[in-house]
Amino acid sequence: MTIFSVKHEDITKIKVDAIVNAANESLLGGSGVDGAIHRAAGAELLAECQTLGGCATGSAKVTKGYNLPAKYVIHAVGPIYDFYDEKTAAALLAGCYQKSLDLATALGVKSIAFPAISCGVFGYPLEKAARIAVQSVCEHPKINELDEVIFSVFDVRTQNVYNEILKTYNRKDIK
Task: Dump the DSSP string for 61-85.
Answer: EEEE-TTSSSSEEEEEEPPPGGGS-
Element (H, E) at 87: helix 86-107
Residue 1: which pLDDT band, with cuts at 50, 70 and 90?
Answer: confident
Go through the domains of the chain in sequence order and give each one's CATH number: 3-168 (3.40.220.10)
d(CA 139, CA 70): 24
- Regarding pTM above 0.75, the answer is yes
**Residue 91 · residue 108 · CB < 8 Å:** no
The span from the first CA to the last CA of the chain, in angstroms, equals 12
Q: What does DSSP say about strands 18-23 and 111-114: parallel, antiparallel, or unpaired?
A: parallel
Residue 42: which pLDDT band, with cuts at 50, 70 and 90?
Answer: very high
Rg (CA), the chain: 15
For the chain, give the number of residues. 175
Q: 76 or 31, which is more confident?
A: 76
pLDDT at 107 over 80: yes
pLDDT at 169 over 90: no
